[in-house]
Amino acid sequence: MPASDIVGRARGRVPTGLLLVAPPVALVCWMIIWPIFSAIARTLWLPDPEGGRQLSVATYTFFFTDSYSLNNLAITLWTTGVCAAFLLPICLSIALYLRFADGKLAAYVQGLAIFPMFVPSIILSYALIRVLGPNGTVDLLLNSVGLPKINTPYLTPWGPVIGLVWDNIPITVLILLSGLGAVSDQSIEAARDVGANRRSVFWHIILPRITNSILVAISFTVLGIFSAFTLPYVLGPAAPEMMGPFMQRTFRDLNDPTTAITQAVITFCFCIAFGIFYVRSVAKNRKA
Amino acid sequence: MKRRAFMLSTGIAAAGLALLPQIASAEEGRIDWYTGSDQNVMDFWTNIIQPQFEAANPGITLNLVDAGDNAGIIAIAERATAALASGADPQSDYFENHDPRLPAGAIENGLYVNIKEAGLSNYDKINPLAIDTDYSVPYRGSQVLLAYDTTKLDPADAPKTFADLVAWIKANPGEFIYNRPDKGGSGGNFVRRAIYEVNGNDPAAFTVDNFTDESSETMLEPAWALLQDLAPSLFDGGSYTSGNTQSIQLLSQSAVTMIPAWSDQALQAISTGVLPETTGLVQLSDLGLPGGFSRSVILANGTNRDAALKLADFILTEDIQSAVLTELGGFPGVSWDYVSPELREKFADVIPASIPVFPGGDWEVAINDGWYRNVAPNVDRSQ
């Protein structure tokens, strides 16, 4: 069947393809694109003392001159960066192991790696307090063999990092694993035959094939972590706070929607940068 | 061609299905009840009030729904306001705890039932101190007090005044924690008690109407200084939990010795074993930690308005009000004369002589923002 037949535009027929994509596109425009523009307009078109509205960047000036807000943005970027730095090596090694190992153990490892996907983050938060919190399970185990207690990450910036890394392992592993599916056994065997060691097989054969998957995995997890709410809310320190809890608090507790929307627009600008990575690598994939 | 026709029709059918509005409506005889309170209150309604009320009123059932928090209740009230304007079904009858002044203008619009004129047989029993407006039914009270581990702190040495408490916290660094003031009333009211402390312990100094930017600066700044000064002596050199429950968790894990806690939550935690039997409770005697009453509100346009009024009358009966003391650990909304003398004797600890109630509104916003900006970040973790 020629492509034109699937798209359905040839010879004046009903444009089925376009009709099929119309509902999701309309939904995205209505629920996502429109709110973005309305949010930007609401933060730039502020009420003035005379009762009208005027163009002003006051809320953005406030954000970028307010050290409290900037600290919150900085901790969000720090948490995202640290989480990504931990996630990539951890998940890449798990994915490599799962790609090349088989047998019972690999099945168990796969089960364990996917498990966090089924644990709601609020339950994870309280469980982490129990395990890693003060006098938690880890402390009890250490104590029973006569070792000192750990310096608990609970209520420090490391609390959310540990939770977010664990929570994001499944999606990262799954994306990397699907990328590794494109690496054929023959190409690896061929490389081995000409004397390539493990490192050069990874570097010259595997890595070039999965760069796209790595980009997709990173942009996916980074987007999720940047806007995380529950884990930083429960496990993180009171201040600085990540953008998610900060926005929610500004909106609900301080009854200040304009400032909250400003924070959201700034957060969105960072996310769009990661989003561009994702879209570009998908587009590259299509061409290939 | 056949396949395309099939895809077209299923695609359109699926899209049409997704776009259809969700139709739900209130059921006659089923009271749609919402709460923004903690889980212990939900449990109390599920286990105590619901079975008793449904047994006493055949044909009426309760649909207990957790709206999350006060903001969740306000959202439902806003939906009901819209329904009132259009004559639609608000799909809600009863708010467990709500301020009828919200959303703004709700009382004037006739959104809520005037309880005083509704002819409840038990209305006269309500403690006059607890009545806030004619549009709500105060049925339980609660106050923040200090919960501590008696194995580490002898009850005889427990602090009795705020100055004692500050001295104890400084003498025992790392043994006290309170939660962020906007994330739960126990920490919020500890912060408010600190604000009273630096303003001559006079609750009358704060009213909903006397907030100005200047007054908030002069009255709140000294409190931030006091709390900053405490920070290095708190758990982990100045950490703050993100809710009432997390504070109780830290006390139960023996990570700290003392926390501020809601009286009802602490008593329930002790009775269910979340906190050990050896947990002590103490209220400051110079001026108690603030608290307040929870007041139910009934929607005038609810389908089950009359049944909801029956429910409001029911929760003021001696049985339920005694259960508020024994099962919930709160104090009753009715005057103490309507509670049995044995119970009055037994719960002398949580019966307050007076409950300071801090006003909300602008003060609440100023306290929340001020605390986050002034107290939370300035932590010297090297100490």
Where residue A82 sits, what CATH number does that domain have? 1.10.3720.10
Whether B30-140+292-346 shares its CATH topology with B143-291+358-374 is answered yes
Q: Is the pLDDT of residue B291 over 50?
A: yes
Q: Is the pLDDT of residue B190 over 90?
A: yes
Which residues span the domain enclosing A43?
1-56
Answer yes or no: do B368 and A249 touch at CB < 8 A.
Answer: yes
Q: How confident is the model at residue B222 (pLDDT cuts 50, 70, 90)?
A: very high
Answer yes or no: do A16 and B365 touch at CB < 8 A.
Answer: no
In chain B, residues 21-60 whose CB comes closer than 8 Å to chain A? none
Q: How confident is the model at residue B11 (pLDDT cuts 50, 70, 90)?
A: low
Domain ranges of chain B: 30-140+292-346, 143-291+358-374
Contacts of B368 in chain A (CB under 8 A): 249, 253-254
Q: Are residues A97 and A177 in the same domain?
A: yes
- Poorest-pLDDT segment among B4-13, B32-41, B104-113, B165-174: B4-13
Q: What is the DSSP string of B171-193?
A: HSTTSB--B-TTS-HHHHHHHHH
Q: Are residues A18 and A156 in the same domain?
A: no
Segments in chain A below pLDDT 70: 1-12, 287-288
Distances (CA, A) of B256 to B82, B259, B324: 48, 8, 29
Before A240, cis peptide (omega within 30)? yes
CA distance B313 to chain A (A): 33
ipTM, interface predicted TM-score of the complex? 0.77
Q: Is residue A50 part of a domain?
A: yes
Contacts of A2 in chain B (CB under 8 A): none
Distance CA B369, CA B365 (A): 6
Q: Are residues A18 and A161 in the same domain?
A: no
Distance CA A129, CA A133 (A): 4
Average pLDDT, chain B: 84
Give the 3-state DSSP-derived string for B221-232, with helices as H, strands as E and coil as C. Answer: HHHHHHHHHHHH
Q: Residue A261 contacts by C-beta under 8 Å, 6 or more apart in sequence?
A: A39, A42, A43
Q: Is residue A149 part of a domain?
A: yes
CATH number of B143-291+358-374: 3.40.190.10
Domain count, chain A: 2
Q: Given this model, what pLDDT does residue A90 score?
A: 94
Q: Given this model, what pLDDT does residue A264 score?
A: 93
What is the per-residue pLDDT across B44-97, written as a single tens digit (0 to 9) for each? 999 999 999 999 999 899 999 998 877 788 888 888 998 988 888 888 999 999
Q: Which fold has domain B30-140+292-346?
A: D-Maltodextrin-Binding Protein; domain 2 (3.40.190)
Answer yes or no: do B253 and A135 touch at CB < 8 A.
Answer: yes
Q: Are residues A144 and A17 in the same domain?
A: no
